[in-house]
Structure 1
Amino acid sequence: MKDEKNLTKEELKERAIRFYNRYGSDLEQISELLKIRLTQLSLAYTLKNNLPPEAIKISTRVKTLSSFLKKLEKKGWPQFYYPTELVQDLIGARVVCWFVDDCVGIKSFISSSKHLQIKGEVEDYITNPKPSGYRSIHLLAEVGYDSVQRKNSDVIIMSEDMVCEIQIRTKLQDAWGDVTHEFHYKAKNAGVDNKVYEQILSQISDRLANEDKSMLTLRDAYQELADDKTKNSTREGFRDE
């Protein structure tokens, strides 16, 4: 961050607003680029593992100005020059898989991509769920993009990169996260901390985790039935291992 006097709360708000006004369209374009990169990887993964394309769903989003200002307030209005100095999920992606073992599989595909550079440690909340029962794999990746800039009277294209957050989870984990976000996450942000309710949430998450395991068993059982039916003929299945 550049050296300068400490800004007031209102000055920090104005700085954030100027950033979004100036770079908002760039952020949306980087978000679309990230979606393209991840969609290409998911198509490669589903082809390799004999899954239909819809077995992995990709979505991306840009953190809104309102969400960023709420983050600033929660952090006590720290000083910043660019919002990326404070948050690494200004652009985020969600990768939702039918089956829990594919969460690990697509994570490996993402890690091996030449277009996405993994930064720091991968947080695996599927293997080690949070106390509330939250399950997901979180990783940070640098996305390279072409930045159009003005230099004197000329327009140039500069190679830049931005760190984005990628979350990988199953459909059941995604549904649990979406529902509980509305009351648990927002309540935690408001200072509410109820261990009894959190334990109940964790128990619900555990039951859904068992259902994810049941889905794997059913998938493999159906695949065996398909193999027996088609035997030596060409077939399309859920997986090809």
Structure 2
Amino acid sequence: METANLISKKQIRQIYESYTDYFNEIMAQVITRLQQNVKLSAQPTYKSRVKSFDSYFKKVLRLKPEQMEETKSLIYLTDMMGIRMICAFLEDINIGLEQIKKLFEIKEVEVKGAEKKFSEFGYESIHVLVKIPKEFLPPLTGKYEGLAPISDELVCEIQIRTILQDAWAEVEHELIYKIEFNPFDIPLRRKLASINASLTLADITFQEIRDYQNKLQRELDERRRSFYSLADGFLNEKTDKKEEDINRVSPFVQGTIDDLLLKAIEAHNDGHLSEAVDIYTRILEAVPDTDKNVLAVIHKHRGMAFFAMNKLDDALDDFQKSIDADNTAFRSYYYKGIVYSILKKYKEAIECYTKSLEINEFQAHTNFRRAMAYYELGEYEKSMNDLDVALKLGMNPDECKPLQEKLVKKFGMNM
């Protein structure tokens, strides 16, 4: 290389930094597209930066020194524009990556840090190089007048990380890369590796907890749906029951209350009601009286099991105990109201439905059940009002139709 032909560092700086605002404007549009289209269970946060000139220049010297004597235009690197998409959970990384692939033309995908040994330290993340859409390039007019046209080489690097991976990358950058220090001291290296391993383990644990919660929620939804279906059957309004494939969950931590609750709900959903009641009872015996939230939840579940066994007095007792433990347990009031409706104690049912709605007014089914109870008591105007609210809140019109038709006959008009 003829050093006499090299352009100066000062010239390279002037060229590079003249594009700073231009790059920031492009990244703002990339982030906007990501924010509008990437949908995760917990929405990611975004950071962006234009690579500092010092880092840029060092990399040019290392990777593209020949271009310093060939041209006086911008020397392109793949990470001049960098965006971090920071996710809550490990599963979000791959989900986010697949969504990004649908939004941009992908030039390269690289998993950073995956090659490191367990005794080494270094952050892991997925780096995605995306081509900049032409419509994202600001016109070279106004403050950008005089800039050379952008080459097709221009890409933006999107790094996809978890919150903990990003935290480690920030600290690691300050401790090691920023001052070009790679510790030789073995104890120090082990400390850094230990911190990295702890953060990695924390990410894995958070994901396991998330998986457990998601699967448990699916079991709870199935159990609640079965309860509603059974209640419809008791009230002679049985609807077709849709079969649902539920992936059964392995216990997260064996022997814990969460583990027992999951076993009870699985038994409940599988129709092993006596077994479910036994497990719920074991949990109640193990929970201290001061743990009101847990007591409220378990009594509610056991009450639903008793309901499915047609032990309505036991169900009422458990729903009331749930309410005693947590007076904001609006579902327990609702379930208690359903039992009273089955027993044709409509005034008591209405009191329960009303209390449930005082706690949470946005319940379509509760308004619908109260409308049915009002109808049975001959309070047709109140029934019609509740039915109207239920429909506005999203109640299935087909489920409301029988009551609508009855009210039409009573009022002698179309609704």
TM-score after normalising by structure 1: 0.72
Report the aligned-residue RMSD.
3.3
- Report how far residue 89 of structure 1 moved: 0.8
1:137 aligns with 2:126: yes
Alignment counterpart, residue 210 of structure 1, candidates 201, 214, 221: 201
Given candidates 33, 42, 47, the residue that maps to 1:37 is: 33
Distance change in 2, residues 1:138/1:20 (3 Å): same
Aligned residue number for residue 242 of structure 2: none
Q: Which letter does structure 1 place at the counterpart of 2:126?
A: I
Bigger drift between 173-182 and 198-207 goes to: 198-207
1:132 match: secondary structure: coil
- Structure 1: segments with no counterpart, 5+ residues: 151-157, 234-240
1:77 deviates by: 5.9
Using the alignment, how far apart are the partners of 1:108 and 1:76 within structure 2?
32
1:93/1:32 CA distance change after superposition, 3 Å: same
Q: Is the 8 A contact 1:146 1:160 kept in 2?
A: no
3-state secondary structure, aligned to 2:105: strand
Instruction: Give a deviation string over 1:130-184, Cα, whole Å, max 9, x none.
Output: 732321111211111234236xxxxxxx897521111111111111111111011
Alpha-carbon distance change, 178 to 146 in structure 1, aligned in 2, over 3 angstroms: closer
User: 1:19-168 alignment to 2 at 5 Å?
Assistant: 19-21=16-18, 23-42=19-38, 45-46=39-40, 51-53=41-43, 56-72=44-60, 79-80=67-68, 81=71, 82-85=73-76, 87-113=77-103, 116-120=104-108, 122-125=109-112, 127-129=114-116, 131-144=120-133, 145-149=136-140, 162-168=154-160
**Alignment match, 2:14:** 17
Query: What percent of counterpart residues are identical?
Result: 29
Contact 1:12 1:77 in 2 (8 A): no
TM-score normalised to structure 2 length: 0.44
Provide closer, same or farther for how the CA distance between residues 132 and 52 of structure 1 changes in structure 2, counting only shifts above 3 A. closer
Contact 2:88–2:163 (Cα < 8 Å) also in 1 = yes
Give per-residue Cα distances to partners, 1:70-121, cap 9 Å, x unaligned. Answer: 5456669654344443x211100101111011111111111222xx21113x
More helix by share: 2
Once the two structures are TM-superposed, the CA of residue 64 in structure 1 deviates from its matched residue by 3.0
Name the CA distance, whole Å, in 2 between partners of 1:89 and 1:76: 14
Return the index of the structure with the highest Cα Rg.
2
Which amino acid letter does the alignment assign opposite residue 199 of structure 2? Answer: L
SS at match of 2:6: coil
Contiguous gaps of at least 5 residues in structure 2? 142-148, 229-246, 248-415
Please state how far the C-alpha of 1:6 moved relative to its aligned partner. Answer: 2.1
User: Match of 2:123, SS?
Assistant: coil
Change in CA separation of 1:70 and 1:201 when aligned onto 2, cut-off 3 Å: same
Whole-Å separation in 2 of the counterparts to 1:28 and 1:102: 26
Letter in 1 for 2:22: D
What's the CA shift for 1:215? Answer: 0.7
| Mapped partners of 2:116, 2:93: distance in 1 | 14
Identify the structure with bigger relative contact order (alpha carbons < 8 Å, sequence gap 6+). 1
